[in-house]
Amino acid sequence: MAVSPGDAEHLAEPVAAEFAAAERTVIEQLRDLLTPGLSRPGWARARTAASGLLRRALLRIVPGLRARTGQAATLAVQRAALLGDRAARGELAQHELPPGPNDLDITPTQRLTRALAEDFEPVYARILRQPQDVYRDVIARASEGVLEGQITRVRAAQRALDDFADRGITGFVDSRGRSWELAAYVAMAVRTTCGRAAVQAHVDRLAAAGQQFVYVSAPGGSCPLCEPWEGKVLAISGPPGPRDVKVQHAAAGGRVTVHVAGSLMEARAAGFQHANCRHSVSLFLPGVTTVPTAPPDAPSYESSQEQRRLERQIRRWKRREAAALDDTARTAARSRIRDHQASLRILTRESGWPRKPAREQIDYAH
């Protein structure tokens, strides 16, 4: 059985769920602390005076969140590594090849877990800080709107709170300069790490069993980064660059030549097996393995991007629902959620991609 980074992505969901639930709690705290006396004079002054309550609420949320996410993340990475190891053992067993030593070095998995914990640090910092800025901003904007006499304070406050709900807790920028909403950022970090742990454990097992080559799957709906490597044979270790490798082949009664497109490390450095990637590598046995070609009517990369967009919209309107100060706003948010869910159903039916209900949630943990 081959393993792709995408195979481990479901392991990220419990972790992302913890963060998304915390985000919703934060939005509800804001809503509840801003609501009292909203239509009465003196609201802004009273709410400003009460801002310490928000700070205390946030300080209560973070430690529990940190403990839960730390545990969930460690477990996710361990399970991902186990998945990879098992898949490799399965492939070896299929060809009646020995699996190599029982226990492999777990340092790579531990290193991945530590790096992931570091990825979360900015998130806790933002959860403590940003809602306090938003709280002050909502009070200021609601007061301004009313002074200008154009709109009611409820509408002005709702507008300011909606702006926050639309984005959620933000400020996460990846190494390529793209900014992410919280749930997507965390899921991206965990999926990337779990994906790496799985594919690494897979090839580590193959290498420990004395194997030299893997081939790259062609799942269709290709991501541009991986296309150059599709269907190619790669060396598990060794120098970069295409070359011919001669190997002993008992059944063929002599040597066979394997054309490799490069090394696995080289392909990964060029972006192959990025986060969420569905490209896998499988054991390649010279003279035995025939590399399969792409399935004919694979769903396109574009439709998977459209699915991600709809999932983001659903999460956005669920945050709006949590931020709703009255029933009108709540009903409007719910109908937008249903619209996007309907579009998503149509898309997944046409594209054949499975729906990922957890990615549409902001509160599925509690």
Binding site for Zn ion (CB under 5 A): 223, 226, 277, 279
Nearest Cα to Cα of residue 276 among 42, 5, 2, 1: 5
CB of residue 274 vs Zn ion: minimum separation in angstroms? 6
Neighbouring CB atoms inside 10 A of 225's CB total 15
Nearer to Zn ion, 42 or 224 (CB): 224
Nearer to Zn ion, 81 or 277 (CB): 277
- Across the chain, where does the E strand assignment appear? 172-173, 179-180, 213-216, 233-235, 243-249, 254-260, 262-263, 281-283
CB of residue 166 vs Zn ion: minimum separation in angstroms? 30
Q: Which residue has the tokens 């799942």?
A: 219
Reported as type and span, the H/E element at residue 270 is none
Task: Determine the 3-state secondary structure of 97 from DSSP.
Answer: coil
CB of residue 225 vs Zn ion: minimum separation in angstroms? 6
Q: Which residues contact 245 (CB under 8 A, 6 or more apart)?
A: 212, 213, 235, 257, 258, 259, 260
Nearer to Zn ion, 68 or 279 (CB): 279
Nearer to Zn ion, 306 or 339 (CB): 306
Is 349 buried (19+), middle (13-18) or exposed (0-12) by CB count in 10 A?
exposed
CB of residue 279 vs Zn ion: minimum separation in angstroms? 4
CB of residue 292 vs Zn ion: minimum separation in angstroms? 17
CB of 26 within 8 A of CB of 127? yes
Is 158 buried (19+), middle (13-18) or exposed (0-12) by CB count in 10 A?
buried
Nearer to Zn ion, 70 or 228 (CB): 228
CB of residue 311 vs Zn ion: minimum separation in angstroms? 19
CB of residue 277 vs Zn ion: minimum separation in angstroms? 3
Nearer to Zn ion, 267 or 344 (CB): 267
Nearer to Zn ion, 229 or 317 (CB): 229
Q: Report the distance separating Cα 147 and Cα 290, nearest Å.
A: 75
CB of 253 within 8 A of CB of 281? no
Instruction: List the Cα angle 217/223/224 in 5-degree steps.
Output: 110
